Amino acid sequence: MSAHGHLGLLLAIALLSACSEAGSPVATMATQADPAPQPNADPSSGVPTPRGDTPTAEGAADRAAQPPPEGSPDPSGDGSTDPLPPTDAGATPGASPEDPSVATLMPDPSWDCGMPAGLPVPERGALVFELSAQLGEVRDVGRTPYGERALLGLSGGALEGPRIGGQLLEGGLDWQLTLADGVVEVEQVALLETDDGEHIYMRTCGVAPTADAPVRVVLDLEVRSAGPHGWLDDSILVGTREVDAQAGVLTMAVYDVTGVDLGAPEDAIEIAKPAGIPAQPWDCTVASGSQGAVAFTENVRIGGSIRVGQGKRGNRNAIPITGGSTSGRVQGSVLPGGADFQLLDNGFELDARYTLLTDDGELILVRNCGPGSALVPRFETRADGPYAWLNEDAWLSSSPGISIGAVNITIYERN
């Protein structure tokens, strides 16, 4: 992008922010759902887990050879799930006789959360803060190429602790993936606002050896490095994440484990993913190829910008996503929630996370990221659903066309 074009894009974003409603900006983040047979639920959380009977070690091989169960669109049309009845958890494949809450977790290399040597027991460190978040919609996306996907919307919450206090802004997203052997992987994106007015971009990676164990999370926080919380840049933060869907609450306790001993390797619990399952991506896809035929278009409504500031990766800014519509091969709506977590320097990089709800009730998770002139979208949806073709890594995106309070995006097939 030329210097002139870059400046024009920045000015346009500033104009959009000025045209947004006054008051505290709201960043919202949503995802997808699937419906027909009611999913099971972890009795301690109520979060959707894979459909069918609770997994057992004896049946794992047989189930792996079976085709995925048929799903059907959500009859309500909004992609949300009804309250889930508790089920008997039983034995979970891959479970260790040791208590995972008191052992180092050795993550699978495909989802190591930046700590391949192991995630230590959080409580061995120093408490930084505790978070109590209100759940919005809990959505069952269904079985995607990576496993059984659930999306939990975070509609706000309180942040309290000896090092940081404040609030979780409305609009955080929590993507939970449950694998065939019971292993759980989690990613979160959210914005925090401290009591002293600073904003923090939180991206979280988590794992658990079984569906009924607390998820152990590693937090990657971006904050204004020259501000009062710049010490977070050099801290190693590990915590626990627990969900009580019946109460509508997600809680996290976060500790600084810098310098904490991982303990003896033989005492660690190793987490291994089933063979033949593709790894869910953590990083953006690098652009290649050229734009082909138009697949569909998006009109994405946006809110006022939320400034994080100059941090460890650059000048971070967030543009909340508040709704929108799609047309073409995908017809439906853009759910309120999500944001574009953009870097205003380093070539102006975008990282937009949001969710599409089609007119026939399917949920499509979207991540569209990269340099502003070379965006590559990635989609995740039900593997046996009508939009499974989107799961292929075969798409390119236009640069966002900016209008008042919205951006227009065209998705192309990649040649």
- Spatial separation of the C-alpha atoms in residues 101 and 216, rounded to whole Å: 9
Per-residue model confidence (pLDDT) at position 294: 98
If you classify domain 3-23+283-414 with CATH, what class do you get? mainly beta
pLDDT for res 44: 43
The residues, any chain, with a CB within 8 Å of residue 150's CB and separated by 6 or more, are: 47, 48, 138, 139, 140, 141, 175, 176, 177, 178
Bridging pattern class, strands 199-208 and 184-194: antiparallel
Check residue 265 and give its pLDDT: 87
Backbone angles phi, psi at 384, to 5 degrees: -110, 20
Per-residue pLDDT of the chain (415 residues; tens, 9 = 90+): 443 343 333 333 433 343 333 333 333 333 333 333 333 444 345 555 443 333 333 333 333 344 443 443 343 444 554 433 232 333 334 434 468 889 999 999 999 999 999 999 999 999 999 999 999 999 999 999 999 999 999 999 999 999 999 999 999 999 999 999 999 999 999 999 999 999 999 999 999 999 999 999 999 999 999 999 999 998 999 999 999 989 999 999 999 999 999 988 889 999 999 999 999 999 999 999 999 999 999 999 999 999 999 999 999 999 999 999 999 999 999 999 999 999 998 678 999 999 999 999 999 999 999 998 899 999 999 999 999 999 999 999 999 999 999 999 999 999 9
Burial of 118 by CB count in 10 Å (0-12 exposed, 13-18 middle, 19+ buried)? Answer: middle
- Residue whose C-alpha is closest to residue 39's, from 31, 48, 47, 30: 48
CA 101, 102, 108, 111 dihedral sign is positive
Q: Answer for the pair 16, 402: CB distance below 8 angstroms, yes or no.
A: yes
What pairing do the DSSP bridges indicate for beta strands 406-414 and 401-403? antiparallel
pLDDT in the model for residue 47: 58
Q: How many CA atoms lie within 13 A of 210 on its CB side?
A: 23
pLDDT of residue 348: 86
The residues pairing with 377 across neighbouring beta strands, listed in sequence order, are: 368
Direct distance between the N- and C-terminal alpha carbons of the chain, in angstroms, rounded to an integer: 22
Alpha carbons 28 and 322: distance in angstroms, whole number: 7
Handedness of CA 407, 285, 174, 31 (dihedral sign): positive
Check: CB of residue 171 under 8 Å from CB of residue 338.
yes
Cβ distance 276 to 147 under 8 Å?
A: no
pLDDT of residue 103: 94
| Cβ neighbours for 8, distance < 8 A, ≥ 6 positions apart | none
Q: Is 40-52+66-270 the same fold as 3-23+283-414?
A: yes
- Stated pTM of the model: 0.79
Between CA 321 and CA 354 the distance in angstroms is 7
CATH numeric code, 40-52+66-270 = 2.40.160.20
Beta strands in 119-275 (DSSP E): 126-144, 147-160, 166-168, 172-178, 184-194, 199-208, 215-222, 237-244, 249-256, 269-270
Domain ranges of the chain: 3-23+283-414, 40-52+66-270
| Pairing label, strands 339-343, 349-358 | antiparallel
- Residue 252 contacts residue 152 (beta carbons within 8 Å): no
